[in-house]
Structures are given as C-alpha cells and as structure tokens.
C-alpha cells in the first residue's frame, strides 16, 4: 500500500528543512511522477489537483492549513526514500516559482487544467503523470546511437580482440601525438 502525501511531505521536510507549502506541493508532484515512472506504482495514495499556481494535494493542504503537520518521520521503504532523495537532488535547488512554471508547461498539468472553471481544481490523472515522466526518462536515457553503428563498433571490437597485441614504442607514441598537433 502506498504511503500518504503526509508521509512523503515529512520525509521531504526532514531532508530539506524550511520547505514552503507551495514548493512542497510541487516536489510532491515530481516525487509522484518519478516514482510512477521508476516503479510503476504510486508513491502516495492522495490525488493531485491542478491548482491555478501548479499541482496540489488537497488533503495535505487542508490538514496543514488547520495546523496538522506530521513531524515524525514515517517508516518508508528504500524505494520511497530513494525517490525522495532523487527528487530533492534534481529539483530541490529550484525556487517555488521556477518549479510551478515548469509544471504548468508539462502535459499532465495542462491537460487537467484545460477548460477548467475559475476556482475549480480538477484532478491530474495518475496515468498521464506516469506516461509523461516515463517519456522524460526515456529521452534522458537516449544516447542517440544508431543500432547499425553500434553493431559495427561491436564487430570491430571483436575483430581487434583476436589480433595480436603490440606494445607501443616511444616512437609510435610521438608519431601519434605529432599527427594530432
């Protein structure tokens, strides 16, 4: 069973004390997205809404507005703690306004906010969050190598592996350096 947004918020605050409420909401969105992308399951059970300023977890906002802030660190698993650490390392230095500006141009927030009436906060669908973050992860991991080029490189490496090895002489090294100067 996933944790609650309150649990993840406590873990974020423990690792980055002094987090403001809106920045916390943005980091929760990113944590949910990366966890969905990495592990295929939600990090926390609470829905995320598309607020005017960015994403928000209504239950957390309401509870903390009433003074109910979870201060004890919950017992989270390794995957959950790794996600929290990853998100803070990737986004923790960004300001609240930078985070919210990024999120408002991302497709999950935009799709949820389409045609939204003033004062309404539609839910951001988990599947859209997962799809977006999975696509982002694929782009970041794409080295841009052509499969045919990789096959040629591997074939050449196999051929060289079977060639007799020769130790470079001082003259060989000087010639190689001179050719590159």
Which pTM does this prediction carry? 0.75
DSSP state at residue 107: H
User: What is the C-alpha separation between 102 and 109, in angstroms, rounded?
Assistant: 10
Q: How far is CA 111 from the centre of its chain?
A: 19
Predicted confidence (pLDDT) per residue in 69-122, tens digit:
766 677 899 999 999 999 999 999 999 999 999 999 999 999 998 877 777 889
Q: How confident is the model at residue 52 (pLDDT cuts 50, 70, 90)?
A: confident
* Residue 124 · residue 107 · CB < 8 Å: no
Share of the chain above pLDDT 70, in %: 92
Strands 55-56 and 123-124: unpaired
């Amino acid at each position: 069973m996933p944790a609650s947004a309150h649990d993840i918020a406590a873990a974020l605050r423990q690792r980055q004390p002094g987090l403001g409420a809106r920045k916390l909401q943005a980091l929760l969105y990113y944590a949910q997205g990366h966890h969905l992308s990495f592990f295929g399951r939600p990090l926390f059970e609470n829905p995320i809404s598309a607020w005017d300023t960015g994403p928000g977890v209504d239950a957390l906002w309401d509870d903390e507005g009433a003074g109910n802030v979870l201060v004890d660190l919950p017992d989270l698993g390794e995957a959950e703690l790794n996600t929290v650490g990853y998100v803070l390392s990737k986004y923790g230095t960004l300001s609240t306004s930078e985070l919210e500006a990024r999120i408002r141009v991302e497709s999950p927030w935009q799709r949820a906010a389409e045609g939204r009436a003033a004062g309404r906060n539609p839910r951001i669908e988990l599947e859209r969050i997962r799809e977006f973050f999975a696509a982002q992860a694929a782009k970041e991991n794409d080295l841009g190598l052509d499969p045919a080029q990789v096959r040629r490189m591997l074939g050449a490496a196999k051929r060289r592996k079977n060639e007799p090895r020769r130790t470079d002489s001082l003259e060989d090294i000087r010639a190689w350096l001179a050719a590159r100067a």
